[in-house]
């Protein structure tokens, strides 16, 4: 079988067809054997697809037919919704076995999702020591470093030689989340240094750990937000980050594979916020798994806030109602001017918000940003108003006065929208809020009001109405 | 010195103040010593800040005072713009030394940024073998797996024992990008298996590689897009991904630390596209480094395309001009209805586009999405129109007819906007384009036209105009 990733999806699709056939004929063992041609991450995804297409029952039957060790691995790759679904269908004994075998951080993740009575029954069967540890971990706030870390790391003593350290790793390594970064603690459990497996392997066997460990390292506190942790992973290129408590005692580590997911979740959160969706449950639930009510609740806040903003827009229009009814064709260009203003504002806001998130733009740069956006706005404004002059005069056959009104308004609206879009995120950052919270809808509605005011002011000046 | 990440920023800020002072008194060595208290990633960031605040000259002086090995490491952590700046100020000999000492993938990155004549002079001094390899790597298309990979991996033979393998790793390990994943090739350089350092260390010294290597693994082709590579990193939890050519020969590996950057860049690209900014140069340049013209060019395409869309909106309004001038207060609610439609559409589009990007939503789910958005739209529409009924009748004192027009239009507009916003990305995905390309501005302008049509149709029906 070829392992080329390119063919992989095609192979999986072909196998899935076979499996569907086997399942329809109730040939479960053949279907299981087909699954076992793939690795655990693929099997997890295939089982999830089977559950979507043919129902949970088939997935559970196949899951139970998997060899015990494979089944734990597959389980760890599944999304938490599917994990909960499977647990709801298997016996308590099976559940205890799977949860018991999971890596510590995966164990915490699934325990957080399960109903309290199931968690209690699982914990009853857990040794007291482990139970205490689990309870501590379950109490770290969501999205904190503590909630992401695992206590299964390799701890070395500073007076060991590298060969003693390697012997120790051989003995306890299989239970650790990673053996590639090892940690040196003093007697009070305080972190004093870090040594990588690569240094251990490449050093002379008699070298003391004390002489090769790095004492200049980066670590995070259990309460640090996961976004900061992921930024530091990117900055320092670590494979694992040590997590310490208030007394600087090493209590866990976070490995880079878990950070990949955090980065995706954080990007999703930013994208949603910027477009006016606020995840009120703060859950990582997928689109299709959220109920209609949850979706509505996440989307309503901004829509309602903006209703208030539109009252102002409405007031501006009311004030100019007489002018408008005397030159009704002015209404024709309202959507274009407001829309363009909104788009220009959200373009600028997007670039600045993202620039702040990736540390490219800082609040001290505001004057540079301001000057840049004014010039960008002028360039874009002039080009757009040239295009519009042709449209308004040639295509629509309107009077030069109206064309002039639309075109001068356009230039000013674009410049102001760029300024609003770029400055608001910087102001929000300055007052220490997340700039992504200032959603684009807010930027557009401010631009809307400004656009209307400029447009009507120009109309009043040029058309004398 | 405490290593707590929490204090770290404060420490760095304090050191930066000292350094500013030293530099103003031209005490360069003291400033250098202050820098050397930190690790290379931090020093790189501090030097970049110094360059922004006090000019490039100070950074170059400090950079040159760093110990040789530190200076190469620091250089590798800098952004490519700062790297090019520094190279423009140091001698050719210094440049050759630094570029020569960089890891292979960092070397390729900087060579891609430097002017051709500088690259040629560096390559002249490079051994022929290395030069040929560099030239091959420089030719991989941007954003392909080939352009990200490094050829510096550990290659083992399948008939070696683990202790032979570990000896080999000790000999060549320092030149490799990672020693944590090792690759087994046959005589034709074809990849036949993968073995992790952790397996090597935890296995009996006499075990043959052949017996412990994984033959079921995932790899990518040199031409695969970086977005796919980063998705597979997330899915399979690898620390390094093997990259093969058309003949399945192993030609390089990509390590997870480089993928963290790819993930950030891809998220930035998606966010910008969704908000109507298209990076025409396809460059990773930062906001402040792009010129006014480049910014204008990246933002103009969508604004110009939408000008065409607004011609249709204009036409719809023109057709209703008579109706509007007879009930001019209808104009007051136009921005609100169009704006709400646009926001509802882009909320739905955002969730679906992001869902597609993270594999949560697939095109086959369209009917589920449709049904969900209709219900969400109905819930939101009813709530918003209830709020508006109060505004229009009580606050604005308009007639019940106008209130009814606005409210029924609102419900229908929200539902339609949700449908448009959710279905367009799925259609775009179905025809195999990137859904993020359908920017929110496009969704809003389609919603705008639909909103106006619904509004005027309701007005005609209810107000008989």
- Give CA separation, B356 vs A16, A183, B151, B203, B350, in Å: 21, 40, 33, 42, 10
Q: To 5 degrees, how large is the angle CA B108–CA B113–CA B117? A: 95
Which pLDDT score is estimated for A6? 52
Are A456 and A407 in contact by the 8 Å Cβ rule? The answer is: no
A236–B197 CB contact, under 8 Å: no
User: How much is the average pLDDT of A249-267?
Assistant: 89
**Chain A residues touching B230 at Cβ < 8 A:** 260
Render the burial of B266-282: b for 16+ CB within 10 Å, e for the rest. bbbbbbbbbbbbbbeee
pLDDT of residue A424 exceeding 60 = yes
Relative orientation angle of helices A334-357 and B292-319, to the nearest 10 degrees: 150
Q: How far apart are CA A314 and CA A312, in angstroms?
A: 5
- Taking the alpha carbons at both ends of chain B, their separation in whole angstroms is 79
Q: Is B333 exposed, middle or buried (0-12, 13-18, 19+ CB in 10 A)?
A: buried
CB contact (8 A) between residue B340 and residue A276: no
Q: Which helix (H) or strand (E) holds B244?
A: strand B240-244
pLDDT at B210: 93
Tokens of A228: 């900061």
Percent of chain A whose pLDDT exceeds 90 = 39
Residues A375 and B293 sit within 8 Å (Cβ to Cβ): no
Q: Which of A260, A287, A368 is opposite residue B263, by nearest beta carbon?
A: A260
Ramachandran assignment for A397, one of left (phi > 0), alpha (psi -120 to 50 degrees), beta (any other): left
Residue where the block lists tokens 């390729």: B108
Task: Specify the pLDDT at position A3.
Answer: 46
- Are the beta carbons of A6 and B224 separated by less than 8 Å? yes
Among the residue ranges A155-159, A220-224, A443-447, the one predicted with the least confidence is: A443-447
Please count the other Cβ atoms lying within 10 Å of the Cβ belonging to residue B310.
Answer: 22
Give the distance between the most distant pair of CA atoms in chain A.
94
CB B327 within 8 A of CB B459: yes
CB contact under 8 A, B318 and A304: no
Asked if residues B231 and B171 have their Cβ atoms less than 8 Å apart, the reply is no
Q: Are B156 and B168 in contact (CB under 8 A)?
A: yes
**Distance separating alpha carbons of residues B263 and A265, to the nearest angstrom:** 11
- In tens digits, chain B (465 residues) has pLDDT values of 344 445 778 888 899 999 999 999 999 999 999 999 888 899 999 999 898 888 889 999 999 999 988 999 899 888 888 888 888 888 888 888 888 888 888 888 888 888 877 888 888 878 888 888 888 888 888 888 988 888 889 999 999 999 999 999 988 887 788 889 999 998 888 999 999 998 998 888 899 999 999 988 889 999 999 988 998 998 888 899 999 988 888 989 999 988 988 888 888 888 888 888 888 776 667 888 888 999 999 999 988 988 888 888 888 988 888 888 888 888 999 999 999 999 999 999 999 998 988 888 888 889 999 999 999 999 999 999 999 999 999 988 889 999 999 999 999 999 999 999 999 999 998 888 888 777 788 888 888 889 999 999 999 999 887
Preferred mutation among A339, A413, A423 to probe B, highest tally of B CBs within 10 A: A339
Q: How far is B406 from chain A (nearest CA, A)?
A: 13
Selecting from A233, A342, A375 the residue whose C-beta is nearest the C-beta of B292 gives: A375
Average pLDDT on A247-252 reads 89
B299/A380 Cβ within 8 A: yes
Q: For residues A31-44, give the mean pLDDT.
A: 91
Coil, helix or strand for A127?
coil
Instruction: Select the residue from B11, B296, B300, B446 to test the A interface by mutation, using most A Cβ atoms within 10 A.
Output: B296
Does the pLDDT value for residue A125 go beyond 50? Answer: yes
pLDDT tens per residue across span A285-309: 788 888 899 999 999 998 898 888 8
Burial level of B9, CB count in 10 A (0-12/13-18/19+)? exposed
b/e sequence A227-243, b meaning 16+ C-beta within 10 Å: bebbbbbbbbbbbbbbb
CA nearest neighbour of A53 among A84, A80, A94, A13:
A13
* Torsion region of A370: left, alpha or beta (phi above 0 gives left; psi -120 to 50 gives alpha): alpha
In this structure, what token pair is assigned to residue A163? 């060969």
Q: Tell me the shortest Cα–Cα distance from B427 to chain A, in angstroms.
A: 18
Summary mean pLDDT of chain A: 88
Token pair for residue A377?
Answer: 């706005």
**CA end-to-end span of chain A:** 78
In sequence order, which residues have a C-beta less than 8 Å from that of residue B410 and are 6 or more positions away?
B337, B340, B381, B384, B385, B388
Share of residues in chain A with pLDDT > 70 (%):
98
- Please tell me the predicted confidence (pLDDT) of residue B6: 53
Q: Cβ–Cβ of A358/B264 closer than 8 Å?
A: yes
Q: Where are the beta strands (DSSP E) in A137-290?
A: 154-156, 181-185, 191-196, 220-221, 240-244, 250-255
Q: What is the pTM of this model?
A: 0.79
ipTM beyond cut 0.85: no
Segment A397-410, tens digit of pLDDT: 889 999 999 999 99
Would the pLDDT of A17 be above 50? yes
The angle that helices A56-65 and A68-77 make with each other, rounded to 10 degrees, is 140
Q: What is the Cβ-side half-sphere exposure of residue B439, based on CA atoms within 13 angstroms? A: 23
Residue B192 DSSP SS3:
strand
Q: Given an 8 Å threshold on Cβ–Cβ distance, is A395 in contact with B216?
A: no
Contact A350 B259 (CB under 8 A): no
């Amino acid at each position: 079988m070829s392992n080329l990733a390119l063919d992989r999806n095609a192979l999986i699709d072909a196998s899935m067809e076979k499996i569907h056939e086997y399942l329809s004929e109730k040939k479960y063992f053949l279907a299981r054997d087909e699954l076992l041609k793939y690795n655990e991450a693929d099997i997890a995804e295939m089982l999830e697809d089977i559950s979507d297409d043919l129902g949970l029952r088939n997935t559970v039957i196949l899951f139970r037919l998997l060899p015990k060790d494979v089944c734990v691995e597959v389980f760890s790759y599944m999304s938490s919704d599917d994990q909960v679904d499977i647990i709801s269908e298997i016996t308590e004994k099976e559940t205890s076995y799977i949860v018991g075998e999971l890596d510590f951080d995966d164990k915490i993740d699934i325990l957080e999702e399960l109903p309290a009575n199931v968690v209690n029954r699982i914990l009853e069967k857990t040794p007291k020591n482990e139970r205490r540890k689990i309870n501590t971990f379950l109490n770290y706030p969501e999205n904190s470093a503590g909630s992401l870390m695992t206590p299964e790391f390799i701890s070395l003593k500073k007076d060991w030689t590298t060969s003693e350290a390697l012997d120790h790793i051989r003995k306890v390594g299989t239970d650790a989340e990673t053996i590639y970064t090892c940690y040196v603690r003093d007697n009070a459990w305080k972190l004093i240094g870090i040594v990588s497996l690569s240094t251990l392997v490449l050093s002379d066997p008699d070298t003391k750990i004390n002489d090769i460990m790095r004492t200049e390292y980066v670590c995070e506190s259990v309460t640090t937000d996961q976004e900061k942790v992921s930024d530091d992973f990117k900055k320092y290129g670590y494979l694992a980050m040590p997590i310490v408590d208030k007394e600087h005692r090493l209590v866990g580590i976070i490995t880079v594979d878990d950070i990949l997911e955090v980065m995706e979740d954080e990007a999703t959160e930013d994208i949603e916020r910027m477009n006016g969706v606020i995840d009120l449950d703060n859950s990582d639930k997928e689109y299709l798994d959220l109920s209609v009510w949850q979706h509505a609740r996440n989307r309503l806040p901004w829509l309602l806030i903006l209703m208030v903003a539109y009252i102002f827009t409405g007031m501006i229009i009311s004030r100019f109602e007489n002018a408008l009814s005397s030159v009704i064709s002015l209404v024709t260009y309202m959507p274009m001017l407001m829309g363009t203003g909104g788009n220009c504002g959200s373009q600028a806001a997007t670039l600045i918000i993202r620039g702040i998130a990736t540390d490219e733009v800082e609040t001290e740069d505001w004057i540079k940003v301001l000057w840049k956006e004014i010039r960008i706005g002028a360039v874009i404004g002039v080009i757009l108003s040239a295009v519009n002059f042709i449209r308004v005069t040639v295509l629509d056959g309107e009077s030069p006065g109206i064309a002039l009104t639309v075109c001068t308004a356009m230039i000013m609206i674009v410049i102001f929208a760029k300024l609003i879009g770029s400055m608001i995120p910087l102001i929000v950052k300055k007052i220490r809020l997340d700039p992504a919270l200032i959603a684009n809808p807010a930027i557009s509605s401010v631009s809307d009001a400004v656009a209307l005011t400029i447009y009507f002011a120009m109309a009043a000046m040029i058309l004398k109405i």
